[in-house]
Amino acid sequence: MLTGAGISAESGVPTFRGKEGLWGKFRAEELATMEAFLRNPEIVWEWYSWRRKLISEVQPNPGHFALAELADYFDSFTLVTQNVDGLHRVAGSTDILELHGNINRNKCVKCEAPFDEVDIDPARIPKCKGCGGSIRPDVVWFGEMLPGEVIEAAFRRSEEADLFFSIGTSAIVHPAASLPMTARRCGATLVEINPEETPLSNLADIRIGAPSGEFLPKLLDAVKARKNQSGQG
Ligand code: OAD
């Protein structure tokens, strides 16, 4: 299972691409790169503080909750997400691989030591207690490597999967976008849930052109009904 910004859209978290997407209004290279942070850390922190506040005010939607419950009906169920909003965990999912980090965590820009205080004043960016480096959000910026263990585990689980859902992602940012095709090449049935077509759409075995917050609860109901039937039989 791979999720992207679209799964949180119905919670009110803006996606990155598309008509209302963040990258239509803001320039990624000025906000989500190491170069931007070194050039103007205050602006980068203002942007992340704004997104943190926005995310702190929203709730998981029925799509997040359905995924958390669906996990109980499978022997093995891995949730790989590109999202940094943490909403899957709030909804109760447990086995989560966060490919792009988590917006509620901070780390040192130099030694990567975690920094626990959550509230950062962009005008007074704190320094690492160990090495004196500036504190940055613990998310993956453009041009940066994904956390090694996390992406390795994501590929391994994709290779082992019988069924792979790609949900609410434009499927263009790699390496995350390679996971669905890796799963399919290794024999998984690939299901895409996205109201818009993506580069994956023609390759998916099943395409659901609906919002995930509408479709996933129906899928959960169907899986539950099936389980009850087989339990009775
Ligand atoms: P995008 O913004 O690229 O794509 C969001 C996808 O969600 C689009 O394909 C929409 O059609 C779809 N969508 C919108 N509403 C939906 C809904 N209710 N249900 C299901 N799908 C819906 O977001 P990502 O693919 O997650 O990376 O973007 C990947 C990465 O690019 C992000 O993690 C971020 C971004 O730049 C970094 O910041 C490193």
Among 199, 166, 206, 207, CA closest to 183: 166
CB of 84 sitting under 6 A from ligand 1:
no
In a structure prediction context, what are the per-residue pLDDT tens digits for the chain, which is 233 residues long? 999 999 999 999 999 998 789 998 889 999 999 999 999 999 999 999 999 999 999 999 999 999 999 999 999 999 999 999 999 999 999 999 999 999 999 999 999 999 988 789 999 999 999 999 999 999 999 999 999 999 999 999 999 999 999 999 999 999 999 999 999 999 999 999 999 999 999 999 999 999 999 999 999 999 999 988 887 54
CA distances to 122, 161, 233 from 93, rounded to whole Å, are: 32, 18, 30
- C-alpha–C-alpha distance, residues 152 and 228, integer Å: 36
- pTM, two decimals, is 0.96
In the residue annotation, 100 being an active-site residue is answered as yes
- C-alpha–C-alpha distance, residues 93 and 126, integer Å: 32
CA of 112 to the centre of ligand 1 (A): 27
Which domains does the chain carry?
2-232 (3.40.50.1220)
Which of 82, 87, 167, when mutated, tests ligand 1's pocket best, judged by the most ligand atoms within 8 Å of its CB? 82
Protein residue closest via CA to atom 33 of ligand 1? 82
